[in-house]
Amino acid sequence: MSIEQPADTSAHRGAQTSRVVAVVVTYNREHLIGECLDALAAQSRPLDAIVVVDNASSDASGRIARDHAAGADVLALHRNVGGAGGFAAGIARALEHHDADWVWVMDDDTIPSPGAVQALVSALAGSPVRLSVLSSRAEWTDGREHPMNRPRTRLGATRAERADAAMAAPGARPIRTASYVSALLNAQDVRRLGLPWADYFIWSDDFEHTGRLLRHGRGVHVPGSIVEHRTATFANAQASPGGRFYYDVRNRVWALLRTRSFTATERVVYGGRTVLGWLLMLVRTRDTDLVGIGARALRDALARGPRRSDVVLAADPAAAADVRRIERAAGR
């Protein structure tokens, strides 16, 4: 499978006229999904479609999404496959059923400002180079930039790359990975390189997937595109992970050792920073249970890689079929 950039048939293809489809994954967030959809319906640049993936919620999240005036296409899964599985299914649905040119992904606790998508597509139109991923500024409820969602600046970005980013939007910078809390993905590249791995369940699915799209692609962070990420606390994912630490370790090892999404240098740098973060978290929390959880995750990550996404989604045959078509076309 080639991972070189394709011929540029639509570098600036109609940012305003291309089909932009939002994909939201929800799970038991009946208190937030309606507000997220309110914000999507109020975008100054109207969306061409909205896909909501209901991850087998046990509350009213799915019903609220179906009844909302935004007219979302609600994909109700029979099993909770986490954010990773939900995004794999939702992005596939946006491509296969809504003919998306660009897919705008976000969690259900993300509340976009009215001009959020307009700022992204304006940056797309202003960029002098073809873009694969654009990210928004995610803020917490008090307006501070959320530490969980800061995109990584591209290591060793050249002066030309920084200048290209600055031409796309004020304050924009070249990025290497992005959070799924508001990222605009080039559908052409997703079809060519594949979907996120559903088996990641939670955490690092966006790190690996945007890393894959940006290994040879270009991406920019657009600070003028603002969304509010309504997490319970202002903290990063490692603040108090509990049992979820398993996914943090397993998935990061999978992403860095079992994919071609990162260069050897990036594996060392990102891996080193990750391990340092884990060590500092263990010292800070003094939670001995986390050591055992991390060891089990490392063992499992080295023993096998992620299962095919259509296998993970087998409880929902239609969603699995959409995923399978895209992954096979991408040679995965």
Output the pLDDT for position 226: 98
pLDDT in tens, 226-248: 999 999 888 766 666 788 999 99
77, 200, 238, 294, 306 from 244: Cα distances, Å: 22, 11, 9, 10, 17
One-letter-per-residue 3-state SS of 145-160: ECCCCCCEECCCCCHH
Instruction: Give pairs for 59-65: CB < 8 Å, separation 24+.
Output: 59/28, 59/29, 59/30, 60/30, 61/26, 61/27, 61/28, 61/29, 61/30, 61/33, 61/108, 62/26, 64/30, 64/33, 64/34, 64/37, 65/26, 65/33, 65/37
User: Residue 3: which pLDDT band, with cuts at 50, 70 and 90?
Assistant: very low
Asked if residue 217 is part of any domain, the answer here is yes
The predicted-structure confidence for 89-148, as pLDDT tens digits, reads as follows: 999 999 999 999 999 999 999 999 999 999 999 999 999 999 999 999 999 999 999 988
Q: How high does pLDDT run on average in the chain?
A: 93
pLDDT digits (tens, 9 = 90+) for 177-220: 999 999 999 999 999 999 999 999 999 999 999 999 999 999 99
Q: What is the pLDDT of residue 240?
A: 67
Residue 280 lies in a domain: no
Report yes or no on 52 lying in a domain.
Answer: yes
User: Is the residue at 141 inside a domain?
Assistant: yes
CATH assignment at residue 197: 3.90.550.60
In a domain, residue 278? The reply is: no
pTM of the shown model: 0.93
In tens, the pLDDT along 292-322 reads: 999 999 999 999 999 999 999 999 999 999 9
pLDDT digits (tens, 9 = 90+) for 13-55: 455 669 999 999 999 999 999 999 999 999 999 999 999 999 9
Asked if the structure places residue 61 within a domain, the reply is: yes
- Two tokens, residue 65: 């999404």
- What is the number of domains present in the chain? 1
Assess if residue 13 is contained within a domain: no
- Two structure tokens written together for 320: 């699995």
User: How much of the chain, in percent, has pLDDT values that exceed 70?
Assistant: 93
What range defines the domain where residue 147 resides? 20-236+306-329
> Which are the contacts of 95, defined by CB distance < 8 A and separation ≥ 6?
103, 187, 190, 191, 322, 326
Q: Is residue 10 part of a domain?
A: no
Which tens digits make up the pLDDT trace of 90-105? Answer: 999 999 999 999 999 9
